Amino acid sequence: MCSLCGSLGGGSHWSDRMPDDASRQRDRALRQQLVAHVAALRGVAVVPFEGDAYLVRGKTPSPERADHLAALWPVVERVSDMPCDPLDARLLAALDADDRERGH
**40 found inside a domain:** yes
Q: Give the pLDDT confidence score for residue 4 in this predicted structure.
A: 46
pLDDT at 60: 79
Give the model's pLDDT for residue 16.
55
In a domain, 11, yes or no: no
Exposure string for 30-56, b = 16+ CB within 10 A, e = fewer: eeeeebeebbeebebebeebeebbbbb
Q: What is the pLDDT of residue 104?
A: 66
pLDDT score for 93: 92
Identify whether 10 is part of a domain: no
| Residue 96 counted as domain residue | yes
* pLDDT at residue number 98: 82
Helix and strand totals (H; E) in the chain: 4, 3
pLDDT bucket at 71, cuts 50 / 70 / 90 = very high
Give a yes or no: residue 6 inside a domain: no
In a domain, residue 57? The reply is yes
Domain that residue 45 falls in: 16-102
In this structure, is residue 86 part of a structural domain?
yes
Average pLDDT of the chain, as a whole number: 81
Q: Is residue 67 included in any domain, yes or no?
A: yes
pLDDT digits (tens, 9 = 90+) for 3-53: 444 444 455 555 555 566 777 778 888 888 889 999 998 999 999 998 789
Count of the separate structural domains present in the chain:
1
